[in-house]
Structure 1
Amino acid sequence: MTGRKKISLLHFFRRLAFPLRIFLLLLVVSTLLISALGQYLSASFEDYLTEHVRGMAMNQARIIASNDSVIDAVKHRDTHRLRQIVGKLSTGSDFDYVVIGDRHSVRLYHPNPAKIGYPMQWTKPGALEKGESYFITGEGSIGMAMRAKTPIFDEHQQVIGVVSLGYLVSKINSWRLDFLLPLAGVFVVILIILMLLSWLFAAHIRRQMLGMEPQQIARVVRQQEALFGSVFEGLIAVDPDGLITAINRNARKMLGLASPGRQWLGRYIGDVVSPCDFFTGSIEEQRQDAMCTFNGLSVIANRGVIRYQHALLGAIISFRSKDEISALNAQLTQIKQYVESLRTLRHEHLNWMSTLNGLLQMKEYDRVLAMVQGESQAQQQLIDSLRDAVDDRQVAGLLFGKCQRARELGLSLNLVPGCVLHHLPQDMDSTEFAAIVGNLLDNAFEACLNNPQGDKTVELYLSDEGDDVIIEVADQGCGVPETLRQTLFQQGVSTKTDAQGEHGIGLYLIASFVNRYGGVITVEDNQPCGALFSVFIPKVKKSDGTISDDFNS
């Protein structure tokens, strides 16, 4: 084969699918191994058979040569008696023929009587004079045979004749075929089994490689490494046993782990991240927007499950510092408040301008003056009451915006007399507290709008007296069904099942904040209709840091 043909064959082999190449390689290797094993066993059996036949032939020839009757018949050249003796000795024996000659190798007995008296063939020169035994293989008077020749000694140990005992090569070949044919059949069966196992192994490799070539897998791995490195969030992948399979630079940076990242691969997640419940507990379940603490860092974490054909391969956890989320949430909350306030003020401004324009054209100047003074006094009273009751300006601004929003929706937001909020719970910032109050009020507004029989009133009570900070929001809405109260604070659960874009995230976030600071939420029926949500958050977080996962209803 020329060099060009070898190169073209190599290119053709490389173009084949990787599992097919594995199958062909295993098939070729299996065939070569079986062929080599067959050659070895065949050669070993050939040697064994040759030695075995030689040993049998020589032993039988010596037994005949040492027979007293044969010795006496040869000494007296009694061919008739030799025929009788050999006939008896041949009974039950497996040799093909026996020829007996005198000391000059002249036949005294031969299976063919016509050949008696003629010299024996394949006689080794000088063997009879020395009394040697030997083997001869060749074409004789009977045919191609393997012969054992041994001398006949008299009582004086003088050579008086020779015995030639032969096995035909055709019989030896038949013995060889009797052994090799079944052996060849066994090898063929083994080769078929190896072909089947090779194909199954190649198919298994194809499934494990998802039908991709090694180059494609290498490219996917490099893309994954680049993707992990470019993602701003921290990413950690673990297998079902909690062993780390991938970790990106941002995750190591946020968790305070040393570089490079390969030293963390294969380590148990509990040795790297504490606590590790989010990585190992119920790993087959997806989690979203869970508030956790990793190595003392407060994070918002998500967990995605990795599966292949219903088999659990592990999970990938993404997380981001809660401080960044809180800053973003604060910005969004402020923007939302500004938008709502501007929208409300715009509507009110248009209404006021229309009213004032009409009154001025009718020259009702006194009414115009009274209207302006009354509205300014109402706004100032609301601002003064919020300033006296709530020290936190972000929470007070939120409540002012919600009052304006309620008026725009045709609702009434009333602060229950006695409201006082001078201190927030320990470690809770204004954004988190405002998120709890704002989501509760938004849900109350929605409930009132969905119940035409209610009086459109929402009541809010805030108090930091005692050991807990209390938030109570009562509405005259449609209420909360009993069937939803046990799962109301789980992500994805919502009472607004017919509303587009509602995913049950508001109450879930409320529950996450409250649960994180060791608080509880209760849901009760309000009178005469609607619901009463009560939140109790300890002013001082428990010293052991434990947080309950249950919410009473």
Structure 2
Amino acid sequence: MTSGQKTAKGFVFFRRLAFPLRIFLLLLLISTLLVTVLGQYLSASFGDYLTRHVRDMAMNQAKIIASSDSLVAAVKARDTARLAAIVNKLADGSDFDYVVIGDSHSIRLYHPNPQKIGYPMQWNKPGALEKGESYFITGEGSIGMAMRAKTPIFDEHDKVIGVVSLGYLVSKIDSWRLDFLLPLAGVFVLILMMLLLLSWLFSSHIRHQMLGMEPRQIARVVRQQEALFGSVFEGLIAVDPQGRITAINRNARKMLGLSSPGRQWLGQPIGEVVQPCAFFTEKIAEKRQDVVCTFNGLSVIANRGAIRFGNEMLGAIISFRSKDEISTLNAQLTQVKQYIEGLRALRHEHLNWMATLSGLLQMKEYDRALEMVKGESQAQQTLIDRLRAFFDDRQVAALLFGKVQRANELGIALNIVEGSQLRQLPSGLDSTEFAAIVGNLLDNAFEASLRNPQSDKTVDLFLSDEGKDVVIEVGDHGCGVPFGLRDRIFEQGMSTRQDDAGEHGIGLYLISSYVARCGGVIIQEDNDPCGALFSVFIPKVTLRDGTTSHNFDR
């Protein structure tokens, strides 16, 4: 196997490692190289500094010794004993290793080893004594490998009469270098360990941020997200906590009238793209579902979910769909529901009626049976005629007919107050939405009446469009609304029912959404002697300046 093939195989193996591990190994390699290079540089720099310092110190000491009057006199007299006493006295407070003193011909007058006195000095620079020069020599001498500073000794006539050689052993200089480098090496090892720890923490942070995925996996997720955003039929917009757009799909741009490419809107404040933008920016940590909103003049049903990573809030994603499409489906479902509810009530009532009729016939009470048939038929027709006469909207009339039948089935008397009428729906609501308001209020009243054993099982409905507002009032003598829930009863998911909480808390929220959209108001009060009274005031029209006008006098 060639070296190139080995390198390629090693590179393939390296790429197979997890991305955070590769980052850690690269940081480890770089940190080791940096620490090694820095250590070499500092070691070389300190070695040069130490050499210069020792040379300067040795030369200064040698010149001081050479200028001593007592030493000059001893050299002139060639008094070796006096020279030994002078050198020993100078050596007590100094750190040099040895001193050698020679005469003008480099013959030793003093040497730490007395046996070498009288012999020529080593490593002399030719002509230096004649010229009175000072110089350095590093090499093997009579004492060992040393760095020596040599300087001439002058008499009072500036004549060279000798030479002083002051030396520092290389072993001592090396020990000084080690005394400095060993702690420095410890510091470097500590720095390297800290770099390793930081590299590992950084790699772990990358692994955490990448959710344990490889870059290619992240790229695949991004492509999948783009494909998902493009294939979803609903409009999708994601925003960060500061309200800047982080993602927007094609259907959202289409519904909002944004013709430019999606990437152009990324990073833009949502307030510059969608108006009003409160649904995108206010309390985005709260989940919202099936909220009726208006985006850029388009009525939509919107949902919102928070985007979190652990405890960190990353933003929110909003999905929405045109309300017109949902309204069509809702109308169909509402009509089917009302039809089924009416049939169920009629079936239950007719079963009882047929059982009674069968009993009368078996008892041969033919006159009473005939009277019962005529009375039932007349009661049903009277109710239908009354509803059709006072309520022009056929869907609302059908709803009330079904609710009357349902009330009878439950043993509740639904009283449509005299004077009730509906000739004109509010301009902001269609038949389905208006019927949903009335139907939900009546359903809540029925349920509250059944939950109160002391209730007289009577529910009153007043519905009128006289004046500038359409007024809906539903009163019952049921269990009422607990005082602690009155401020939150219209929030989504809030209900007075404790059982099956997930199945309740939608009706009043839906009513509140429809009424608020039209600029109406809802008033909740206590009924006399017990129960609750809900009053809804919805303006028929919206004024030109966008405000609404209420007429609370019926």
| TM-score where L is the length of structure 1 | 0.88
d(CA) in 2 for partners of 1:275, 1:515: 15
Alpha-carbon shift at residue 384 of structure 1 (Å): 2.5
Question: Structure 1 residue 237 and structure 2 residue 238: aligned?
Answer: yes
Change in Cα spacing, 1:476 to 1:65, as seen in structure 2 (3 Å) is closer
Map 1:360-439 → 2, pairs under 5 A: 374-439=375-440
Whether the 8 Å contact between 1:58 and 1:149 is mirrored in structure 2 is: yes
d(CA) in 1 for partners of 2:81, 2:459: 139
Letter in 2 for 1:162: V
Whether the 8 Å contact between 1:406 and 1:412 is mirrored in structure 2 is: yes
Letter in 2 for 1:380: Q
Look up the match of 1:248.
249
Question: Structure 1 residue 466 and structure 2 residue 461: aligned?
Answer: no
Alpha-carbon shift at residue 440 of structure 1 (Å): 1.4
Alpha-carbon shift at residue 146 of structure 1 (Å): 1.0
Look up the match of 2:165.
164
Look up the match of 1:220.
221
Alpha-carbon shift at residue 156 of structure 1 (Å): 5.6
d(CA) in 2 for partners of 1:211, 1:545: 53
Deviations 1:8-52 (A, max 9, x none): 443443344333333333232222211111100100011111111
d(CA) in 2 for partners of 1:300, 1:370: 53
d(CA) in 2 for partners of 1:481, 1:177: 85
Whether the 8 Å contact between 1:359 and 1:365 is mirrored in structure 2 is: yes
d(CA) in 2 for partners of 1:483, 1:60: 96
Map 1:91-240 → 2, pairs under 5 A: 91-154=92-155, 158-240=159-241
Alpha-carbon shift at residue 144 of structure 1 (Å): 1.3
Which shifted more, 367-376 or 188-197?
A: 367-376
Look up the match of 2:498.
497
Look up the match of 2:507.
506
d(CA) in 1 for partners of 2:357, 2:78: 162
Deviations 1:178-216 (A, max 9, x none): 211121122122222222322333333333333333333
Letter in 1 for 2:300: V
Deviations 1:317-369 (A, max 9, x none): 22222222222211111121222334445556667777778888999887777
Change in Cα spacing, 1:46 to 1:499, as seen in structure 2 (3 Å) is closer
Letter in 2 for 1:468: D
Question: Structure 1 residue 310 and structure 2 residue 311: aligned?
Answer: yes
Letter in 2 for 1:281: E
Look up the match of 2:300.
299
Whether the 8 Å contact between 1:97 and 1:111 is mirrored in structure 2 is: yes
Letter in 1 for 2:177: R
Deviations 1:373-416 (A, max 9, x none): 55544443333222221122222222233233334444443322
d(CA) in 1 for partners of 2:150, 2:529: 127
CA RMSD of aligned residues (A): 3.1
d(CA) in 1 for partners of 2:206, 2:419: 73
Deviations 1:267-323 (A, max 9, x none): 222222222222222233222222222222222222222333323222222222222
Secondary structure of 1:43 counterpart:
helix
Letter in 1 for 2:229: F
d(CA) in 2 for partners of 1:372, 1:278: 57
Secondary structure of 2:503 counterpart:
coil
| TM-score where L is the length of structure 2 | 0.88
Alpha-carbon shift at residue 463 of structure 1 (Å): 0.8
Which shifted more, 361-370 or 448-457?
A: 361-370
Look up the match of 1:515.
516
Change in Cα spacing, 1:542 to 1:285, as seen in structure 2 (3 Å) is farther
Map 1:252-331 → 2, pairs under 5 A: 252-331=253-332
Alpha-carbon shift at residue 487 of structure 1 (Å): 2.6
Secondary structure of 1:253 counterpart:
helix
Map 1:539-550 → 2, pairs under 5 A: 539-541=540-542, 545=546
Whether the 8 Å contact between 2:445 and 2:459 is mirrored in structure 1 is: yes
d(CA) in 2 for partners of 1:256, 1:503: 36
Look up the match of 2:42.
41
Alpha-carbon shift at residue 472 of structure 1 (Å): 1.7
Q: What is the total number of aligned residue pairs between the two structures? A: 548
Which shifted more, 229-238 or 76-85?
A: 76-85
Letter in 1 for 2:83: L
Letter in 1 for 2:270: I
Which shifted more, 402-411 or 174-183?
A: 402-411
d(CA) in 2 for partners of 1:182, 1:453: 91
Alpha-carbon shift at residue 432 of structure 1 (Å): 1.4
Alpha-carbon shift at residue 167 of structure 1 (Å): 1.0
Whether the 8 Å contact between 1:496 and 1:502 is mirrored in structure 2 is: no
Change in Cα spacing, 1:60 to 1:384, as seen in structure 2 (3 Å) is same
Look up the match of 1:551.
none
Unaligned segments of structure 1, at least 5 residues = 549-553
d(CA) in 2 for partners of 1:319, 1:412: 41
Letter in 2 for 1:138: G
Deviations 1:232-258 (A, max 9, x none): 222222222222222222222222223
Which shifted more, 114-123 or 293-302?
A: 293-302
Secondary structure of 1:306 counterpart:
strand
Which shifted more, 43-52 or 59-68?
A: 59-68
d(CA) in 2 for partners of 1:112, 1:49: 28
Deviations 1:45-82 (A, max 9, x none): 11111111122222333333344444444444443443
Change in Cα spacing, 1:540 to 1:65, as seen in structure 2 (3 Å) is same
